[in-house]
Each structure stands twice: as C-alpha cells, then as structure tokens.
Chains A and B, each alone.
Chain A
Amino acid sequence: AQKITQTQPGMFVQEKEAVTLDCTYDTSDQSYGLFWYKQPSSGEMIFLIYQGSYDEQNATEGRYSLNFQKARKSANLVISASQLGDSAMYFCAMTRSYSGAGSYQLTFGKGTKLSVIP
C-alpha cells in the first residue's frame, strides 16, 4: 500500500525567502505520479505541481519546484520568494494502483501548514 509522509506539521518562512516542504513516499508501483496541492483557509484544493516517476528532470511551475529524488523516495516542494498569499496547508499526494480504466486514485499526506511572516 502507498504511504505519504509529511514530517513537518507547521513551517514558518520570512516573506521573500525560499522554503522547502518535505515529502517522502513509499510504494511498490514502478510507475506513479507525485503531486503537491495547496489548501488555503477557504478549503479549495489548488493543484501546484506534478512529477512523474519516469521524468528525469525535476518539475517546475513558476515559483514552485519539485525536488525529486527517486532513490530516496522523496518529493520535496520548494517555494521560492515566498509571498504572504502562500500561507496555507500544503499536501503531498501520489497516485496509487487502481483497476479503473485510465484513472488514478490519490493518497494524501497529512499536510504541512505554512505561515509566511511579513
């Protein structure tokens, strides 16, 4: 069974600084996808970034980058130049094996609450 571990319940970062949110995973699947989602206090889940297990390069999306280390089974999210609006819960997730045609279920970590300090 897949498992996602986020060891940081809460993180603080100064505005304009970079921050790394940790995520480790465990799976027996050879092919899988890794995701990061942001959940502000309003509750909506906002997709940030995706990394496929066979992608050789680390994914980047604007200020977000995913530091993918396959051998260590880690997929840390790096946010550069933090902004006040980045304060939110951040969830790491991965796809899991599913028999449905062409569909992938997600397993989520427990989340990290990021607070950006002015």
Chain B
Amino acid sequence: GAVVSQHPSRVICKSGTSVKIECRSLDFQATTMFWYRQFPKQSLMLMATSNEGSKATYEQGVEKDKFLINHASLTLSTLTVTSAHPEDSSFYICSAESGAAETQYFGPGTRLLVL
C-alpha cells in the first residue's frame, strides 16, 4: 500500500515553455501532498504544500506564479512550471501523506531539463 506515482519521469523542454507534472496517490486518499525540488547531490527542499480544494502554501522564496500547483482531487496534485528556464532544470519529487502516522510516501520523481 501507500503507492505514489509521478508522471512524467523525465522531460526535456525548450526555454519558455510550460511543463506539467502529475502526482497521484494510487491506493489511498491524500488530503495533503507536498512538492520538493532536489539539486544534484543536495537534499530535498520543500517548495509547497498542496491541500485538496484550497490554495497551496508556498515556501519562502518559491514563486507561486511560476510554480502553479493544483490539487484537484484527493488523489491528484499537479505542478506546472510556467515559462521554464534552464535554471529550473532539477529533480522534482512529490509526496503524499498517508493516514494518521505522519508518514509521507514519495513519488519516483521527475527529472526536468530545460534547454
């Protein structure tokens, strides 16, 4: 149980285009999902907390107009990187909280390369 999928696993796009990343909880409902960013050989940095049916909460320094988050249902959250630039190239990983045990289960991540 507690499986989280993420799509796509890898995407290459041109500078200026927008990219949508989907995060799904497959076998449980997640009121809250989290979006992280990870640069090579670094730790995970929380970008935003996504709550179903309400606006996402962004961490300090994260541009909410650039990283659009939509938590449309209890099993789906999407992150859209708008007008992507090369500096947005990174590993984006989502997680979903399962049950009352505080545990977050992570998706497999999405590697974004902006040319």
> Which residues on A are within 8 Å of B, measured CB to CB?
33, 35, 37, 42-47, 50, 52, 91, 95, 98, 100-111
**B contact face: mostly helix, strand, loop, or mixed:** strand
Instruction: Determine whether the beta carbon of B31 is less than 8 Å from that of A105.
Output: no
A35-B104, A102-B32, A108-B44 given; 11 more Cβ-contact pairs under 8 Å: A33-B102, A35-B103, A37-B106, A43-B91, A43-B111, A98-B49, A100-B51, A105-B49, A106-B104, A108-B43, A110-B43
Instruction: Determine whether the beta carbon of A44 is less than 8 Å from that of B51.
Output: no
Mark each residue of chain B from 82 to 115: 1 if its CB lies under 8 Å from any CB of chain A, else 0.
0000000001010101001111111111010000
Instruction: Determine whether the beta carbon of A91 is less than 8 Å from that of B44.
Output: yes
Q: A43-B91, A50-B101, A108-B44 are in contact. Are A102 and B31 (CB under 8 A)?
A: yes
B101 CB contacts on chain A under 8 angstroms? 50
Interface flag for B67 (CB, 8 Å): no
CA distance A45 to B105 in the complex (A): 8
Tier of interface size on chain B: 20 to 34
Instruction: Determine whether the beta carbon of A45 is less than 8 Å from that of B95.
Output: yes
Q: How many whole Å from B47's CB to the nearest CB in chain A? A: 11
What are some 8 contacts across the A-B interface (CB < 8 A)? A35-B104, A44-B106, A44-B109, A50-B101, A91-B43, A100-B49, A107-B46, A109-B43
CA distance A98 to B46 in the complex (A): 13
Mark each residue of chain B from 51 to 85: 1 if its CB lies under 8 Å from any CB of chain A, else 0.
10000010000000000000000000000000000
Instruction: Determine whether the beta carbon of B43 is less than 8 Å from that of A111.
Output: yes
**B32 — nearest CB in chain A belongs to which residue?**
A103
B49 CB contacts on chain A under 8 angstroms? 98, 100, 103, 105
Instruction: Determine whether the beta carbon of A47 is less than 8 Å from that of B111.
Output: no
Instruction: Determine whether the beta carbon of A45 is less than 8 Å from that of B57.
Output: no
CA distance A103 to B32 in the complex (A): 7
CA distance A101 to B100 in the complex (A): 12
**A44 — nearest CB in chain B belongs to which residue?**
B108
Instruction: Determine whether the beta carbon of B105 is less than 8 Å from that of A47.
Output: yes
B100 CB contacts on chain A under 8 angstroms? 102
A102 CB contacts on chain B under 8 angstroms? 31-32, 100
